[in-house]
Amino acid sequence: AKTVISLTILAQVAGGCIGTWAVRRMAAGKVLFISSVGLAAIAGAFCHVGQGQQIQFTLLAVLLGFVWLLASPFHISLALRADPAGETAAVIPALQLLGVALGPLAASFVVREVDARPAMEVGALFAIAVVVLLAISRGRSAKMVQSV
């Protein structure tokens, strides 16, 4: 368990560093869309990890940590574009912490006894919801740009 935690934290640091470097070089909407699809796929893959599959679990945990923190600078980037004064960007870390708390709360309603796999399904549903919301918002912003 200690090794998994250490490797996941290392991946989070790497993802955050790479995201910070890439945020000025890549389109935020595309990166967030791709990372959301990736997070949904990772959550779905977790559903298929059985007992005794420590290597698969570790790889998925590391990948999850990397992708999650890679996306974080892009959230701030989008918020600063929408609100150059930075007031919106200032609340993003608090909202991310709220999301980190609400995810396990929602998952706690479906986890039974020793089977935690339904928690991964909740995570996958949240990630799919993000992908859908991003797709809707991209469509709306494209229509707004065309009408101006």
Q: What is the pLDDT of residues 75-94, one digit of tens each?
A: 888 888 888 888 888 888 88
Decide: 124 and 37 in contact? Cβ < 8 Å.
Answer: no
Q: How many CA atoms lie within 13 A of 122 on its CB side?
A: 16
Decide: 123 and 36 in contact? Cβ < 8 Å.
Answer: no
Q: What angle do CA 83, 74, 86 make, to 5 degrees?
A: 25
Alpha carbon dihedral 42, 43, 47, 50, in 10-degree steps, equals 50
pLDDT given at position 140: 63
Decide: 20 and 77 in contact? Cβ < 8 Å.
Answer: no
Query: pLDDT confidence of 47, banded at 50, 70, 90?
Result: confident
Residue 111 has pLDDT above 90, yes or no: no
Residue 29 φ then ψ, to 5°: -60, -45
**112, β-bridge pairs:** 115
Arithmetic mean of pLDDT over the chain? 85
pLDDT given at position 143: 57
Between 38 and 126, residue with greater pLDDT: 38
In this structure, how many other beta carbons lie within 10 angstroms of the beta carbon of residue 27?
A: 10
Residue 144 has pLDDT above 60, yes or no: no
Q: Which two tokens stand for residue 73?
A: 């600078």
pLDDT given at position 148: 40
pTM: 0.71
